[in-house]
Amino acid sequence: MNAIILSIGDELALGQTLDTNSAYLSAHLAEHGVMTRYHQTVADDQADIAAAIRTAAASADLVLITGGLGPTDDDLTRFALADAMGAGLHLEEAQLDAIRRMMERRGRTMAERNKVQAQCPDGATMITNEHGTAPGIAATLGRCTVYVLPGPPHEMVPMYAAAVEPRLPSPDLTILTRKINTFGNGESNVAEMLGELCARDRNPLVGTTVSEGIVSVRIRSAFADPFEARRQLDATIGQVEQRLGAIAYSHEDQSLADAVLTLLRQRNMTIATAESCTGGFIGKLLTDIPGSSDTYVGGWVTYSNAMKTRQLGIDSAIIEQYGAVSEPVAAAMAQGALGRSDADIAVSITGIAGPDGGSDDKPIGTVWIGIAQRDGDASAHCMLLSGGREQVRDRAAKCALQLVRLKVLGESFDIVRWAMPIHSSRTTS
């Protein structure tokens, strides 16, 4: 079975918006053994869209189309599909009601123009959209099945999962995959740790990908026998984890923040944060996780020095003597957060994210991370991170979370090798 994926929109064809839907869909189709022959992005031109649908439907078993289902004049996919089918359109009253109810739940009155979203090509069926006003469309052109899905990813993804994926055929091979996430080392370091497990002709196949500093190890086990596929997958997971050690923090899509919260919860510990250069980003990452309130008590964004002094009780003489980005300030921030909250561990960050504020002594990317534990000591750890402001802040927040993990696990911080550790210090609280 093969597929063609079309994405519709001037903003995509003109390069103003990046199409992520097509990559998402083809990756998910591949898991079902459905190979994508091509993606095509077409501008908001009804004749061009209709021609692209006709061409695709003539040469693939499955055509997935995203976008162009909105309520405005440049949303033309439903009309182009009707053209390609040689069909008229009719109003689906049930969908019109669903749109009206969706708008009402959001406290809005359905605009006249939303009615067009309930227009369905004759002979096609509509798919209710649980996350937006645009219903999807399922149709048949000759021997080809066509699905039209809404363009916004948060509407497209659940509709694909609910209406398309369950109708895909079962593949001949059982393909099982697992992703193991690491933070702290570069991709080539991780590949070296894995060694011959990464051979390209191995089954299960082991590969690495990197995204935003997180190096993920992907394992793909493909066997005719489902039990063998599972057994081999589990064996390879064991080998990979043994070689990675503590830098591996989770499987599949569990975030680093979630892994930290899970670990703290197991140890019956709570955490507080004190952030300067990350400005609340660690708190945001921790509270991304539902149920984090049992473990994360909260924290301080002490962006100004006055906030550091007044809210965390840091002696302004220390800030003057060592600077806000320094070992004693990082340690005092963590200790201040610990002392003022009822948390069991506190983590702090102070650094120079750029683009201004760097010096020879403290270049942009210099980040101090402080960790203080109740009934324990406080320590501070300096890293020099590369990249622009966004990257420095992102990596600093992840470093802080990984160091909390390692601290609680009693692991050495030396395994974090991708940033340049300048030095660590230790002070008693």
List the interface residues with its own copies, window 88-107 (CB under 8 A).
105-107
Which of 125, 128, 254, 287 is close enough to bind its own copies by CB under 8 A? 287
* Binding region for its own copies (CB under 8 A) out of 44-52, 261-269, 344-352, 406-414: 44-52
The first and second tokens of residue 269, run together, are 């510990």
User: Left (φ > 0), alpha (ψ -120 to 50) or beta: where does 58 sit?
Assistant: alpha
Q: Counting contacts by CB under 8 A, is residue 223 touching its own copies? A: no
Which of 171, 358, 376, 387 is close enough to bind its own copies by CB under 8 A? 387
Q: Counting contacts by CB under 8 A, is residue 292 touching its own copies? A: yes
Q: Evaluate whether 308 touches 367 at the Cβ level (below 8 Å).
A: no
Q: Count of residues binding its own copies (CB under 8 A)? A: 111
The first and second tokens of residue 390, run together, are 């966004």
Nearest to 67 by CA among 159, 143, 140, 144: 159
In angstroms, rounded to a whole number, what is the distance separating the alpha carbons of residues 420 and 295?
A: 30
Q: Counting contacts by CB under 8 A, is residue 288 touching its own copies? A: yes
Task: List Cα–Cα distances, 375 to 102, 246, 267, 269, in angstroms.
Answer: 53, 24, 15, 13
Residues 124-153 that bind its own copies (CB under 8 A): 131, 152
Q: Residues 235-254: x/- map of binding to its own copies (CB under 8 A)? A: --------------------
Residues 311-330 that bind its own copies (CB under 8 A): 311
* Binding region for its own copies (CB under 8 A) out of 165-173, 207-215, 243-251, 368-376: 207-215
Residues 9-28 that bind its own copies (CB under 8 A): 10-20, 22-28
In angstroms, rounded to a whole number, what is the distance separating the alpha carbons of residues 10 and 385?
A: 38
Q: What angle separates helix 46-59 from helix 77-85, to the nearest 10 degrees? A: 50
* Binding region for its own copies (CB under 8 A) out of 65-73, 162-170, 240-248, 370-378: 65-73
Choose between 124 and 185: whose C-beta lies nearer to its own copies.
185
Q: Counting contacts by CB under 8 A, is residue 47 touching its own copies? A: no
Q: Evaluate whether 248 touches 183 at the Cβ level (below 8 Å).
A: no
Q: Counting contacts by CB under 8 A, is residue 342 touching its own copies? A: yes
Other beta carbons less than 10 A from residue 118's beta carbon? 23
Q: Counting contacts by CB under 8 A, is residue 115 touching its own copies? A: no
